[in-house]
Structure 1
Amino acid sequence: MRSATLTIIILMTFTCFGQDCSLITTPVDGDVDIAVDSPIRWSAVPNIIGFVVSLGTTPGGGEIVNRRSSGQNNFYIPEVGLPADTKIYVTIGYFKAGQDFTTCEIESFRTVKITEAPNCTSLKNPINNSSNIAAETQLDWLYSPTATGYILSIGTSAGGTDVLDGFDVGNVLNYEAPEGLPADTEIFVSIVPYNDIGNAINCREESFITTSVVVDCGPYYDYLTGTSITLSPDINFPKRIGFCVRSPSTRISSDDDADGYRWFMVNSDGSETLISSEKIADIPKIGTYRYEAYNNIEQSTTTVECGKSVIFQVLPSDSATIHSIEDHRRSNGQVAIIAEGQGLYEFALDSRSGPYQDSSVFHNVTNDFHKVFVRDKNGCGITESSIQRKLTSDDFPKFFTPNGDNVNDHWQFITPKLQGEITVTSIHIFNRYGNLLTIIDPNLKGWDGTFKGSPLPASDYWFRAYAENGEEIRGHFTLKR
């Protein structure tokens, strides 16, 4: 004999008007012309166990939603919307450990008056163009804002109504045929939302294929092998990919091992458009997409699919613009590439083929001429620029011998090989006491070791060279007699 224990919980409640109680924030108390699909949000309360929300057409009533738990979420989205042109009363309550149930002050707002028929909806489950659907499957569809009911037709041919003919299911978002759907058949479904203004127009028909064989795709435990079995393929596809904005489309592909593939574009109304049944797909624009991979499983006299899918976002991407290059080689050997753009970038030095790194900062960079490369990770192009050679005192002569033999008689800057675009504009020469002796033009012969026409003695002399890019190079050299 079975016995049952009945536990009765008596909730002690009190109404709260203080700071610890929630106030609705969307919409706010007294708002008017609120959309019928508006979420209800309220202020958070610390350390709660859970919220309870009631929505009614009378103060404190629950005609729409009666004491519905929202967990610790301080929001609630009515599944089938709110009645139009109606004053909605909101009652929020919550549980706190060790305290009685708290009911907050009743607040209200008025919804907008509806002046148009609702838009069309689409199947949520099964999705359009799917296959191997169990005949006992419940149909689910998306809420159409402002709809107050739905007219459902089901047939075994396009436009057919032999399974269900224009049945008004009311203001619900699902339907299950009492005796199931015909097996091994393509099922055509038409869902027409309506409200007091009229019916949605030009709603497209959707379809899926049922099966008489239901396969457990797993995972399940195989007692013979002692392992977990999954008949669906393993899929490994990113949740975000880039779309090259300069291209009419972006081609993507799957590396997964499967018997078949499908790529769907998810439309703004939640419906899906099949764009490829191959391993590759050409993505036409940015947006939301669904990728599906499946294995064909042989069962008796038929083949069924076991599949997995993933929703992914296609985001805009582009080649980089190199805004500037911060050259700190003199101080710490570092170079930082400042790149801008819509893409995700990686960076390489001296070689277009890499290796590339995520960091835009390079360390221990020599003073030589370098090329930098910025590559978009989504394949939208490589941008390159250059880092000019850094001049040092080693690029200037260490000595000269002005003895009139026409060999090394003048001290002058000699442009080094692979200099890049660096141009020295002037060189100031000083004696050891810091007195300016002369300013020489790098395009002329140079300094002959005299001051006001008189030869200067053998000694060390100092120079300060100025480059066109703003660099200043200091050093010294020897005059030998």
Structure 2
Amino acid sequence: MRFNPDIRNKNTTGKYSGWLFLFLLFIVLEVIAQVCPSTVLTSPLDGSTNVAVDADISWNQVPNVPGYIISLGTTPGGTDILDQRFVGSATTYNPPLGLPENTLIYVTITLFDFQNGNLEIPCASESFTTAPITQIPACAQLSIPSDGQIDVNPATNLSWNYVPGAIGYRLTLGSSSGAGDLLPTTDLGNTLTYNPLVEFPPNSVVYVNIIAYNLIGDAVSCSEFSFSTSAIAALPGCTSLISPADGANNVPITPILEWTPVPGATGYRITVGNSPFTAEVLDNVAFPPVTQTGILELEANRTFFITIVPFNAAGEAIGCQQESFTTLQGCGPFFDPMTGDLITLNPEINFPATISSCENEFPLIYTSPDTADGYRWYSINSNGNETLISDTADVTFSGPGDYRYEAYNLIPQSGNLECPSSQVFSVVSSEAPVISSIDVTEQATGIRIVVNASGGGDYEYAIDNINGPYQGSNIFSGIPYGTHTLYVRDRNGCGIAEEQIVQDLTLEGFPKFFTPNGDGINDYWQYIPPEFAGDITLVSIEIYNRYGRLLVQIDPNSRGWDGTINGKSLPASDYWFRARSSTNNEMTGHFSLAR
């Protein structure tokens, strides 16, 4: 909750309203003046020049203020360098990436009281000017893992120390000294960490080169670092709250905490407190590998701070962030000790995540399927801002987009308290598919068919039956040769496209050679249909010599050619064939006669 100087009594009009506004504004400014010290900064002092780019920023401690927020910018109250960083009860902040050189920097300290409704009181900005950088940076030092460290988890991230005056770092990783096979020299910009895309090789030595640089030049004569990895034992990553979402308001006082599952985690340690620094509700309690747990009877109308740290045999996740939520007053769910049930006053909603319509059906009129005292519908733009479009059970969607639906009950306590249930959803537009092309390739077990469809719908695919089964993939493999019909269907019922293909001849089945020597083995050359031949029917096979002269035409149903013409044996050589199917498709190839 921030102090808001735009305070007006909506039940008072005219000059009295104006005087009330000025009076309340005067009171708010007086409170700020009394709480904030006349001079906030203690180092660097307001107006200082030639301040080192790696300087710490310190300020006066304010009595009875449990927390501070610091912002840094190039204008009074600006946040373009650092945007409202909460630092707890500390009164010193060290910018981890340093400060920009030769720059007038404004510091805004905001007093944060989470014990009284998250009250925020920004103090007046003060400023100082940093010194220019006049020399190349020093060498960076690897901090995680440390140089020479052994048994390092292959899933480790890398960190190094900040180098005063550096504006960026180039990183090279190799499996031998000076090599870059694990990561060629890469400019990472002004960051102090690197998260590899893949794990390091287990039981191996990794060599690290970090070069700090600025506009004057690169650090020189820097040492190479190395560490040795252990066998694979990946640390789990961090998780985040699904419900309640981080920063959520009006959270039930008996919520179900739910978080995203983390692959490889064997459990989670959860801390919940009334402030960022305490653990009154849960104190680092270990939970098995579940992704939700209930908490009974939290205090209403209060902010709670939660940290969830996944762990496994390799250790705990690193760098997991604290999140928070604020409980509501009056809606529940409440724990009934008599029945053991959770009672909630919010309406139950049964609303889809997606509403589909064909492209020619807009504007689309939709009615809420839920029973509640009131309804609201919001459109959500690309920046995440919401606009109310209806406050009844009915809504008209002018076109596709993202929306939020809210149904609420009115509870007669503390006035008419609204207890809402909400659902973010999408309205999508579909159109009938168009088959743009069909690609067919031969495989060892038949043919592979790829159906390429265009259009603005959500499509699924079937072969040889308009009723399916349909699949999400547009690829069909191991299909027999023959005639096939491909179907593309819009999942939202906006149409079906179909196209027939004929793929009925292949070199499979035509022998590469034969040996007509009377031993009963390979004495005849004839087409032998493969198992995946489908409905192929050959009507003729013609055999030619190497000069293109027709020698003989054989019946595909006969036992084949014995290598003779008019009873005379032909010499060992290469011969050609041309086969024709009942659909008038042709296939040519060659084979060898061996004696």
TM-score by length of 2: 0.35
